[in-house]
Chain A
Amino acid sequence: MTTVSTELALLIDVGSAWAKAGVIGRVRGRWRLVAHAAQPTAWGEAELRRSLVAQLDAAADSRLAGRHEELLAGANRIECHTAQRPGRLAVVAVSRELSGATARRAAEAAGWQVAEFVTLDDGRTLAERLATLQGAEVEAWLVAGGFDDSRSPRALEAAALVASARLLDGGPVVWAGSALLADEVVARFEDGAASAVANPRPDARREEPGALRDRLQAILRRSVAQEDESHLSPVAFARAIGALAADGGLRVLGIDLGARGAVRVLAEPDGSRAVSVHSSGGLAGAAAVGGAAGRVARMAGDAGDEATVADVLQTLRARPASLPQTPEELAATQAAARLQIAAIVDDGGPGPVDLVVGAGRTIACAPHPAQAARMLLDGVRPIGVTQLAIDAASILGPIGSLSDDEIREGMTLLSDDLLVPLGTSVVSRGGEPGEVAMRVTVHRPGWPTPAPVEVRVGQLQVVPLARGQEAELLIEPAPGVSLGAARRSPRVQARATGGAVGLILDARGVPIGLPKRGDDRRAVLAGWRDALGRELERLP
């Protein structure tokens, strides 16, 4: 890493709403995180630097007092940031539920903000659709419709709508519909303006959005984000997660939930990674999700009624840098986070993973580690045995903006401060309500082996397992209960590592089922919160 010859390095992650900075320095021969600050981005860098200097003056070697401003000014600066502005896209499709839904998901997963969404079954008149599209201020257009074996006139009409609304040189057009119509559609636009990509809905049963997502990502990079890509937060975060996976030989899922956007990275043990960037997947985006207020109110239990939660969600959109001050607003915010995480994870579920890493202020700076664990567990539902950790100091983004060699070196040097482990979760699926879902024997080396812990379907239990401790697990799932992978033995052996929460035994199923009656639901939610809340540590 290039910073070894300097005393300090400054890691900065500038988000759309919050800016985070960390200072790493040599402490007794080892590189450690020596100061960390987070503030609304609008406060400016001078204020961020002032906070860091104040921390260093208070905590660092007294012989350096008064010199920290100068040392920071000369420190290596490693920075990542969100894109200056999101790419705006208009989606025109035949059907809201089929071609439209697939196209929209692929566009958002590629990092586009869908500014206009028009389908031929949206109940609007042709004139209204045209007026909407003619008023669209977008950088690109996506047209979708028709299965590959058909020449759908409706798909041609969708393309014609775009041809009618778009100005000459009004941005690239991508045709993601019936292959039989590709040449005809491309010919409707000026030379070089339109291109065809493999149909993401080749028939009614299949959804294959990969090629469309890749094409849209490439266009986004070319036409909008003309910046040094490696310093863009989604790219940097993905590279860091990839390095974590390769370094540990693990399958790692990284979730960065921001104020406006969200990033999902699934990295394989060889370092390869699948990345989706959801421009409206952050907390602010929850306000635009249909029925979100009702769902958040039900999921939170103690956030107030639906109307109150609706106001909170709109506040998250309108004032993304502000903080929840009351327990009810925090409960609504964290439930909204769970909703948004679930939405981006649903986009092609990850399957069993070894490690889930949560990043972004709402997750990584949750007041209690149990709350961070709950957001990850409820949002991802990582079936099987999974380690959970958070990027509490927002280091992964800046580290990921370095060169490949430097990323590995940086992670090695900062191994103690890189992630805050929350513990290990064992998530099961299936079983009969009220019946035992699994028996788990936790054996810690040097300790007597206790009796197995019985976890009933719908229950959540936490077994203390502190950071740095390891345990051997012997899991006996009941008949009809699954831990994700196929198994030949009635028992599953696994290793668990401890953390700020401990060992979480979660038999709530996938997806989580909640009682319909309000009182019952609130009682169940309070039980889960209490079970998870028996942790000892607070996050740093």
Chain B
Amino acid sequence: MSVLHRVRLPLGAITTVEVGRRVEPSDVLATRRPPGGGTSLPVATRLRRPAAATAELVRAAPGSLLDAGDLLASDESGHEVRVPEACLFLGYDADDGTALVAPLGATQPILGHVRGEVTAVDAEAIEIRVAGALVTGVGGSGAAVHGELRMAVGEPGEELRAGAIDVGATGKIVIGGSRASAETLTRARAMGVAGIVLGGVRDKELRDFEATQQRRREVGVRGDFAIVMLEGFGKIGLDAGLYAWLRSHEGRMASLFGERALLYVYDADPPPARRALARVGDRVIAHRRPFAGAGGELVRVLDLPHVSASGVTARSGLVRFEDGRSAIVPLANLEATEGHDGA
């Protein structure tokens, strides 16, 4: 199976790949020179004109990228103002007669973070066909990373503990279970783990961890790290079927996109599919408390709408959960899972 992945390009990026090229996650697809802090460049004084009257002598359009020595402004008598270094021209201030420019920094690579074949290239994006499977999560945090998949829990509902993160996890995408505390996430980051995939995480713990990430960036500590939740928010385990599928692909290369909540696993067979409307006999997974993340079988659909403990009346079904519980659950809170035996 294959899926398409789109890498959006910033303005001024120079592509280094062409259609048909095979790329690896760490390959450079394009380069760019990002603008740094803005500086003012005197224009009116150098043309010896009033600030307001100089506005019409500015030759560059706001937003244009200029190379060192490019013309910024000139008058009819041949006086010129050129930029001393490559920069982004932001605008001219007619009050003080200066131009606001942002000098371009060092060339930076743009990585695709996926393995595949380039199928389209244009000014806005590069499209890559990825041979593998895509799993979409419900939320995430952090940048794009890649690495081998490594299982760190023995059960899909097991919490990922800090002790389970060791040097063997460095550079890997770690598969956790039902939750990871801020302490575990911090340890994983410190051990050089590339990313973590979980069934769920508590929103507060994720936000606390994001705050530490932000502080690290502010003091210049670099290092990408991504987290993706596949099932929900809270202490929610991975679906047993999905866990089994991930376990069967341990050691495979994968790419994890935190904020976009995407996980690509290369050369993988399709993951267990999900379907919104469950039928009797389907294996299902529940999405709301008190059964969030629990898998089971939909045994029967009730003839009449059922009133749940919250008082909400809805079409419901009897589910026999794999942990031994049985309960009536609104069908809207169930998804049918297909493929890959998780039992």
Contacts and interface: CB of A to CB of B under 8 A. Distances in A.
Interface string A498-521: 000000000000000000000000
Contact of B288 (A137, A161, A315, A365): A315
A151 interface: yes
Contacts of A287: 203
Contacts of A131: 10, 34
Nearest to B92: A156
A364 B104 CA distance: 55
B8 A137 contact: yes
Contacts of A159: 62, 91
A47 B315 CA distance: 12
B70 to A, nearest CB: 15
Given A127-B37, A157-B90, A164-B63, A329 B289 contact: yes
B202 A164 contact: no
Contacts of A322: 287-288, 330, 332-333
A160 B100 contact: yes
A43 B100 contact: no
B63 A166 contact: yes
B11 A306 contact: no
A214 B10 CA distance: 31
Nearest to B38: A126
A443 interface: no
B36 A330 contact: no
Given A307-B202, A330-B310, A325 B333 contact: yes
A326 interface: yes
B203 A319 contact: no
Contacts, number: 170
A319 B234 CA distance: 13
A163 B312 contact: no
Name the interface size band of chain B. 35 or more
Contacts of B1: none
B91 A157 contact: yes
Contacts of A34: none
A391 B309 CA distance: 24
B104 to A, nearest CB: 10
B204 interface: yes
Most buried by A among B34, B35, B233, B292: B233
Interface string B45-69: 0000000000100000111000000
B138 A167 contact: no
Given A40-B332, A131-B10, A131-B34, A368 B232 contact: no
A323 B90 contact: no
B246 interface: no
B96 interface: yes
Nearest to A43: B277
A130 B88 contact: yes
B289 A163 contact: no
Contact of B63 (A163, A327, A330): A163
Interface in B12-62: 34-38, 55, 61-62
A125 interface: yes
B62 A164 contact: yes
A283 interface: no
Contact of B88 (A42, A156, A164): A164
Nearest to B65: A164
B153 to A, nearest CB: 20
A324 interface: yes
A42 B332 CA distance: 10
Contacts of B311: 327, 330, 367-368
Interface string A64-98: 00000000000000000000000000000000000
A188 B277 contact: no
Interface string A300-321: 0000001110110111011101
A393 B37 CA distance: 56
A324 B312 contact: yes
Contact of A326 (B89, B93, B202, B309): B309
A39 interface: yes
A135 B12 CA distance: 12
Contact of B276 (A40, A325, A329): A40
B197 interface: no
B287 A161 contact: no
Contact of B233 (A160, A161, A315, A324): A315
Interface string B80-96: 00000000111101111
Given A314-B203, A322-B333, A330-B310, 20 more contacts: A47-B277, A126-B102, A134-B10, A134-B11, A156-B91, A157-B91, A160-B91, A163-B62, A165-B11, A188-B63, A188-B91, A311-B202, A313-B203, A315-B288, A319-B287, A325-B291, A325-B312, A327-B310, A365-B312, A367-B311
Interface of B: 8, 10-11, 34-38, 55, 61-63, 88-91, 93-96, 100, 102, 105, 123-124, 138-139, 202-204, 207, 232-234, 276-277, 287-292, 307-315, 329-330, 332-333
16 contacts: A39-B332, A43-B276, A156-B93, A159-B62, A167-B11, A188-B63, A314-B232, A315-B288, A319-B232, A319-B288, A324-B312, A327-B309, A327-B311, A329-B310, A367-B311, A367-B312
Question: Top 6 nearest A-B pairs by Cβ distance?
Answer: A367-B311, A160-B91, A42-B276, A163-B63, A160-B90, A318-B138
Interface of A: 39-40, 42-44, 47, 51, 125-127, 130-131, 134-135, 137, 151, 153, 156-157, 159-161, 163-167, 184, 188, 287, 293, 306-308, 310-311, 313-315, 317-319, 321-330, 365, 367-368
